[in-house]
Structure 1
Amino acid sequence: MSTTSGYHGSCHCGNIKYQIRLTFPPSLTDIDPKAKTIRIYKCNCSTCHKMGYFHLRPISIPDDFILTSPSTIEELGEYRCREKKVGWYFCKNCGVRTFALGGEWEQVELDVQKWAGKQESGAAKLEKVWRSTKGIEITQEVDGKRVSKPVHYLSVNAVTLESGQEGAELKEWHEKGWVFYVDSKNRKEVMRFGEPHEGGMY
């Protein structure tokens, strides 16, 4: 039986705060990027390896992720590499990398408690938050040709989830075999469970 809950995450000092909705358990048979399941994985590319990044991808980027702090995107630290389409965001104060986004930001007002699935009586309490509802175009080489395609990408660094939240124990994810491994470094191996690819980490 699957359950969907809202989870809090932040950088170390708390300047960056986000919430993410996750449906557990993830599918262990369908880990395709378009699958209707959360994805928990580690990648062996140089970017993720150097950052020590632990990927946690929600089912729906527009519906399942909001940034509640800081009040402007410009307050976030941002690193872009390769084609510079994906922003790897970090806190300018404590340096913690919290999430990566390949998409456009928009600021909206919503009732965060209702969004998180917490039933509270009384009038809605609207807050300004950031989310991404639109993707970007990226260009990749496929069979020796440059091909453009639309992409909407969001990955939270799972180690920035607040500890003590039921279902968000990273040790438990490993023990249950939910973490899979991606070969983005050589692009030769298929995604797999159990063992990292060359240059990757457990």
Structure 2
Amino acid sequence: MSDSTPTRRPFHGSCHCGSVQYIIFLTLPHQPPPIATPPPTDSSRANQEFYRCNCTPCQKAGHFHIRLAWSPEDFMLLSPLDPMAQLGDYTCNDGRIHWLFCKKCAGRCFLFAGAGEMAEVDLDELGVQDKDGGKMGKRTIWRPKAEGWDEQRPSGCYLSVNGYTVDAGQEGFELGEFTANKWVGYVDCLELNGPERDPRYDKPYEGGAF
């Protein structure tokens, strides 16, 4: 990006067939959160995060984690509007997190746990344009419900967008740049390695991938 001032802006994402459509708001250029810093005491993560996890489900599903600063405002699902009923679902481990996927193309756009809601928003007022730069107007969207939402683990709230499903060709979003700039943390959650280790930014842990 030519401008080095961190700026919050929207990006479009979708599954391969386009049945799942969403908007996320990211602040770029990215500033990775400090390592070994006590978590904030309020419900905000304080930082967005990009990371790859080497645990078996994440590795086999090919999930590039984008954790948003405040999911109720930073994630808007345009379709479908009832994801828990209209998308395929897979849970593993404790069954708390839903690995939702498109029933047509099997694309996995996001993982979710918690409560959601439908809302009416004016996308033009939020600075969201369509892929051709046109207006999108007022729309009904689905989003995580702000009431009771807590971005901190191990709460019952969790949203992780698959960065591989953010649509290509959008100015300012290039995953190769994220890796080159060492914005991507590599997390060690592989059961064979023992206790989870703090993220590192130079290379993946054993069993992981760039």
Quick check: TM above 0.5? yes
Equivalent position to 1:191, from 173, 177, 199: 199
Equivalent position to 2:178, from 167, 170, 173: 173
| Distance in 2 of aligned mates of 1:98 and 1:29 | 24
Aligned-residue sequence identity (percent) comes to 38
Kindly indicate whether residue 27 of structure 2 is the aligned counterpart of residue 23 of structure 1: yes
SS of corresponding position for 1:162: coil
* Per-residue deviation, 1:61: 0.8
Stretches of structure 2 that go unaligned for 5 or more consecutive residues are: 130-134
Q: Please, what TM-score do these two structures have when normalized by structure 1?
A: 0.84
Q: Please, what TM-score do these two structures have when normalized by structure 2?
A: 0.81
What is the one-letter code of the residue matched to 2:110? F
| Larger proportion of strand | 1
| Distance in 2 of aligned mates of 1:162 and 1:117 | 14
Q: Cα RMSD over matched residues?
A: 2.5
2:10 maps to 6
1:61 maps to 71
User: Does the CA contact (< 8 Å) of 1:23 and 1:37 recur in 2?
Assistant: no
* Per-residue deviation, 1:194: 1.1
- Note the alpha carbon deviations across 1:113-165, whole angstroms, 9 max, x for none: 323456xxx9x9421110012448xxx9xxxxxxxx53421111001001111
Aligned CA distance change for structure 1 residues 63 and 4 (closer, same or farther; 3 Å): same
Aligned runs of 1:80-91 on 2, under 5 Å?
Answer: 80-91=91-102
Aligned CA distance change for structure 1 residues 128 and 194 (closer, same or farther; 3 Å): same
1:130 maps to 142
| Distance in 2 of aligned mates of 1:184 and 1:85 | 17
What is the one-letter code of the residue matched to 2:79? S
* Per-residue deviation, 1:188: 4.3
2:132 maps to none
SS of corresponding position for 1:194: coil
Kindly indicate whether residue 137 of structure 2 is the aligned counterpart of residue 155 of structure 1: no
Aligned CA distance change for structure 1 residues 116 and 102 (closer, same or farther; 3 Å): farther
What is the one-letter code of the residue matched to 1:13? C
Runs of 4+ in 1 over 6 A off after TM superposition: none
